[in-house]
Amino acid sequence: MNQKSKIFVAGGTGLVGGAIVRNLLEKRYTNIVANCHHREPMPLGGVRYLPLDLLDPSAVEKFFEEEKPEYVFLAAAKVGGIVANNTYRADFIYQNLQIQNHVIHQSYRSSVKKLMFLGSTCIYPKECPQPIKEEYLLTGELEYTNEPYAIAKIAGIKMCESYNLQYGTDFVSVMPTNLYGPGDNFDLEKSHVLPALIRKIHLGKALENSDWETIRKDLNNLPIEGIDGNASDEDMLHVLNNYGIKTNHASRITDHAKVSIEIWGSGRPMREFLWSEDMADACVFLMERVNFEDIVRVRRPDLQGDEIRNTHINIGTGKDIAIKDLAHLIKGIVGFGGDFCFNTEKPDGTMKKLTDVSTLHGLGWRHRMELTEGIGILYQWYLQQQQH
């Protein structure tokens, strides 16, 4: 890529795509186009946002014919936490398959110079050796709760590999670990564990301090099940209780309350977290320096005969933390004084998911942001959103 190359970031307003757009701008790329679903984001110099529905095959075909991007970051996906993945199983497999099928195929038809497909480390087997190497893909059964999403992402990897082998394209797949950062999803009905914990602990702190102004401001910014800051105290307490933010008071709190936060599972599962801006830097680094043939050469010792497979690259930190310890880390940063209640009747998911990032390190990239600092920055970002 050069600074004037036409670059399409599919999903350019999300956590992943937005971080990639910002990284490209920092590196002085000036011809970026991104799709947006509803309203156009704040204008950025060097970026055009188009209302493109990636689920519409005709719209995607027309976009590629008219815009003719040279490079594509496929960061668009339907994503969510364990509850959303398990509840909306059909939506997760259908929408993700459709998005990637449309974008990858039209990239081939339009002779895109290079495409990067972004997946997730949930593609790996539930009982996987640790740390997880790229070649462990398809060596065991998937975790049930996110199986539809994982199968869609595996299909995306195999689609990129297959187009490369049959058509000579240069489509690279990367598998980031759990991400967090500016623009994260704090919707308690759909969010991942880290932003969900930040918001729940933030609301728990407000509840124990009888800080109704903060609670109303938070719910006005992001209602829960339609309940916003204009609701009655009883209704707000009820919806918070439904999402595990519990108090020993049944109605409006006048004194400091004893508050507990419910967390699904035992708290023992280990998870790896990567700052989204670091992830974006890794993606742009690889897009600039590494192509499919490079990856095949790196993987050659792991391949059998003429078989070329598992050519994706893990992106992560190589470090993990127990969910229980993560909760206490956030508790200290937020300043919450209550307790945690781990609901062991709810699923834990995979007990350990730590990526082996030796391939990425061997190519010359390492993460910069450590977890404690990143959570502090993200919490301050979340508080700033309450002011808008």
Instruction: Give the residue numbers marked as catalytic.
Output: 149
Within 290-339, residue ranges assigned H as helices are: 292-299, 323-334
Strand 178-180, strand 71-74: pairing: unpaired
Sign of CA dihedral 199, 179, 101, 50: positive
Q: Which residues of 274-307 are buried (b: 16+ CB within 10 A; e: fewer)?
A: bbbbbbbbbbbbbbeebebeebbebbeeeeeeee
Give the span between the Cα atoms of 160 and 55, in whole angstroms: 19
Query: Strand pairing partners for 10?
Result: 74
Q: Which of 356, 354, 150, 174 is nearest to 272 (CA)?
A: 354
3-state helix, strand, coil in the chain (%, to 5): 45, 15, 40
Query: H/E element holding 173?
Result: strand 171-176
CB 186 within 8 A of CB 222: yes
**Beta carbons within 10 angstroms of residue 148's beta carbon:** 21
